[in-house]
Amino acid sequence: MLLENYAEGKWVAGTSGLRDLRDSVTGKVVAQTSSAGLDFGSMLEHARMVGGANLRNYGFHDRAYMLKALASYMMARKEELYELSYSTGATRSDSWIDIEGGFMTLFAVSGKARREMPDGSPDGSSASKNVFVDGGLEPLSRGGTFMGQHIAMPLQGAAVHINAYNFPVWGALEKFGPAFIAGVPTIIKPASDGSYLTEAIVRMMVESDILPKGAVQLICGSTGDLLDYVTCQDVISFTGSASTAQVLRSKPNIIGNSTRFIAEQDSLNGCVLGLDAAPGTAEFDLFIKEVASEISVKAGQKCTAIRRAMVPHKFMDAAVKALSERLATISIGNPREKSTRMGALAGMGQRADVLEKLGVLSAENPIVIGNADKFTKGNGAYLEPIVMRCDNPLEKTNVHSVEAFGPVSTLMGYVDTEEAVTLLQKGGGSLVASVFSYNGGFTRDLVMGASAFHGRMLISDRTSASESTGHGSPLPNLVHGGPGRAGGGEEMGGVRGVMHYMQRTAIQGSPSVIANITGEWIPGAQARKTKTHPFRRIYKDLHIGDQLHTKSRKVTLNDIELFANSTGDTFYAHMNAEAAKANPFFEDRVAHGYLLLSWAAGLFVSPDPGPVLANTGLNNLAFMTPVYAGDEIKVQLTVKRKKRRTEDYGEVGWDVEITNQNDDVCARYELLTMVAFEDT
């Protein structure tokens, strides 16, 4: 099939220079691709002016619901992707990671956005729909009339995603999701090998008619002069080799505009078998299982694959034997066969590259498992798992600097914890490291010593093994990236990934000015006192800043004692006047903080059935001024923020301020309630 590019809202075939893409198993041409004739500058302008403008017409939650719908739409059409994926050399289980794993990242980032990001403009206005409040208020004046707040807003450019060949679906979607939530349109550029899978998912995106116009474009082929047109508002996210990343990030236009460049590079990821994890322990078995899996899944073509496995010298012979026995059970062959557990590499060119790197590595350390010459005939890009042994890794260099991006790994001996840490560090920065040990001191020391060199660290033991996602599984709610050789970038990580496509800005002004920008009420901002009790209003009729002032209630010594006796909280400051006065915080017996919360609820509640469905919690509770017998308390209840939850109800955050007869603030917190969309 002739792959097409999706540019400026149209499917366009390349005009010349077609490249053949071959089946990794049969060697037959399965697709042709070219991007010749595309106007890359116009594509970027279309993304900014059409895609960006359309996306920013929606709020974070609107886009999150679109992403969820898109993931469901594509999940229902997954089988055609599985069939295409066989041509990449991937087995069904390999493709599950790529295809359904990619869809799950969209579901996950959609859920994180709906839980942790604001709902845009819940009152129907457009002013604050794309404002993300980043952190708390910063008081800047004594009287509270001048303060600061960090906010984040969508960049007004395009996200250029340059992806690797090993995960043509997941690699595209794990980048697309966060950019889409942020409100930034995406230009997807897959590696040519396997790009027929990426083209298929982009066709699904377009055909779904879920996404706003201009939200996504696709380049199948060379990027040409695309990067010559990027600006300070664009973001480039790259996955691949360190050498390619260096060439791209050093382009004068990128440097001159300080264009954001996120790199996730292949790295020499390590794992460590603990000093306590002797043969026969659960941790030893987990180590062998994980190393074998990382060598064979996707034929070892994972950026997170284990390339260096550290083993105590005393366990080395047992580890070689156990790993050899486990790898011997893995059947290699046509991925379309159900009995096959390991398929082919991405192509003969990739196989040749792996063998070249293997030659460099094996010249330094002997091969103890596998035969690189086993698959030498035929068109299939097969390679048996290869494991080398290095008994003196501190004296070697290539094992810490050369990566064969395939089913290749090295077992390295170590003496003690300090040496294991040193070996992990010698990778020069990695995406992930794992530790297999049941000794808390050992795992703590490994993490303390090596975490600065890794983006993620997995501690695996008998306690978590049954539910662990394993060494090589980046998760959408955790960051994926690493320092140094790994590229120094970050992807995913829930809302952290969304922030890569937004600009953090500090705003300064009065409480009312800041509240007007963020769409969240803050103390000191203008409010609207209402005659109708807010608990009598359905969700849409509640507005940010709606405020209720309650009557007051006097606290007596008898109230304090009744509360103490009924709850069992007879702390001395509530019951013993002499002891309370000796406390530097109190002048006399003090009312319980939770008595104040209970009374506050009694003061502001509307008891009859209505749209308020449930009180689901409170946030940021703080007690400021003690309340003594004879004091009177009252409550100011203000609608602080709103967030949709389902088709039937939404969450309302209320600012609750408890004050005494002198208007001193005694306590403040945020109350959460679920409020129906329709009156009950």
Q: Which residues are catalytic?
A: 264, 303
Helices (H) and strands (E) in the chain, counts: 20, 29
Q: Which amino acid is at 399?
A: V
The H-or-E segment that residue 317 falls in is helix 316-327
Q: Which amino acid is at 676?
A: A
Tokens of 551: 């009557």
Query: Maximum CA pair distance of the chain?
Result: 94
CA distance 88 to 634: 68
Tokens 């105590």 -> residue: 312
551: three-class secondary structure by DSSP: coil
CB 386 within 8 A of CB 367: yes
DSSP class per residue in 264-293:
EE---EEEEE-TT--TTSHHHHHHHHHHHH
Among 375, 384, 367, residue whose Cα is nearest residue 330: 384
Tokens of 594: 């939770």
CA distance 342 to 345: 9
Strands lying side by side in the sheet with 367-369? 367-369, 386-390, 408-414, 306-312, 269-273, 430-436, 454-460
C-alpha distance across the termini of the chain, in Å: 57
Among 180, 185, 396, 383, residue whose Cα is nearest residue 300: 383
Alpha carbon 265 to its chain's center: 17
Residues 6 or more apart from 2 whose CB is under 8 A from it?
13, 18, 31, 32, 33
CB 370 within 8 A of CB 385: yes
Phi and psi, residue 678, nearest 5°:
-125, 150
Tokens of 420: 């294991």
Phi and psi, residue 649, nearest 5°:
-155, 165
Phi and psi, residue 7, nearest 5°:
-130, 130
Q: Which amino acid is at 473?
A: S
Q: Whats the size of the chain, residue-wise? A: 680
The H-or-E segment that residue 641 falls in is strand 632-644
Crossing angle of helices 316-327/282-296, nearest 10°?
A: 50
Beta strand pairing call for 546-549 and 528-529: parallel
CB 665 within 8 A of CB 648: no
How are the residues of the chain apportioned to helix, strand and coil, as percentages rounded to the nearest 5? 35, 25, 40
CA distance 184 to 322: 49
Tokens 């602080």 -> residue: 640
Residue 312 C-beta-side C-alpha neighbours within 13 Å? 16
CB 296 within 8 A of CB 407: yes
CA distance 523 to 546: 13
Q: Which sign does the torsion angle of CA 82, 84, 86, 88 carry? A: negative
